[in-house]
Amino acid sequence: MEELRIPVGGESVSALLIRPPQAKALYLFAHGAGAGMTHVSMASNAEGLAAREIATLRYQFPYMEKGLKRPDFPNVAQVAVRAAAAEAITKAPDLPLFAGGRSFGGRMTSQAQAASPLPGVRGLAFLGFPLHPAGKPGTERAEHLKDIEVPMLFVSGDHDALAQPELLRPVVKGLGDRAVLHVVRGADHSLKVAAKTGRTAADAEAEALDALAAWMIRRTGH
């Protein structure tokens, strides 16, 4: 694992690059609103992807780097996404590049892509796309997705309180051939599962990462 610093708006944020020996693609992996790139779930996902021959570049949003609790405004977050994407190309120019992340990080990445395509990014992959706030179902947060022309993968639990399946499915279907939805049975927004499902968090994580890695690798020509 390589520790990096990425310049963002006159400051810099920390980042972590994991590149397995036989890497077939690089995933620009943004964290969610409540936990940074070193959170146990982010680390586990990155290590799991490495085992599946996917390199990852994790990075902090500026607010997380400063230890603040309130997420950055979208314009600030999108600057960080673009800076991290540029760093990814510099560090691994030979690897096909994909971008996205967990929850907030995935949405900030999609907004950046919708505003102006990220150079070199072949597709976007989301782990728990936050379609709406908890308890406030709606699809307004998905309106920008229609402006994205690269392929998209949505990995979402069928118990996700921030993306009710009955709302997410038609959103993804409305994007046509560009978008694919993989539903993880019994999983919530964090891909955790209740014991009564007979599954474990490790089962849900493995399913999600299998789907993510396979989708990326199919788009690299391997």
pLDDT in tens, 130-160: 999 988 999 999 999 999 999 999 999 999 9
Residue position matching structure tokens 């402006």: 147
pLDDT confidence of residue 150: 97
Q: Distance between CA atoms of 37 and 23, rounded to whole angstroms?
A: 20
CATH code of the region 2-218: 3.40.50.1820
Is the pLDDT assigned to residue 124 strictly greater than 80? Answer: yes
Which candidate, 222, 216, 203, places its Cα nearest to that of 56? 216
Q: What is the pLDDT of residues 20-39, one digit of tens each?
A: 999 999 999 999 999 999 99
User: How would residue 222 be classed by pLDDT, with cut points 50, 70 and 90?
Assistant: low
pLDDT in tens, 148-206: 999 999 999 999 999 999 999 999 999 999 999 999 998 999 988 887 878 888 999 99
State in Å, rounded, how far the first CA of the chain is from the last one: 24
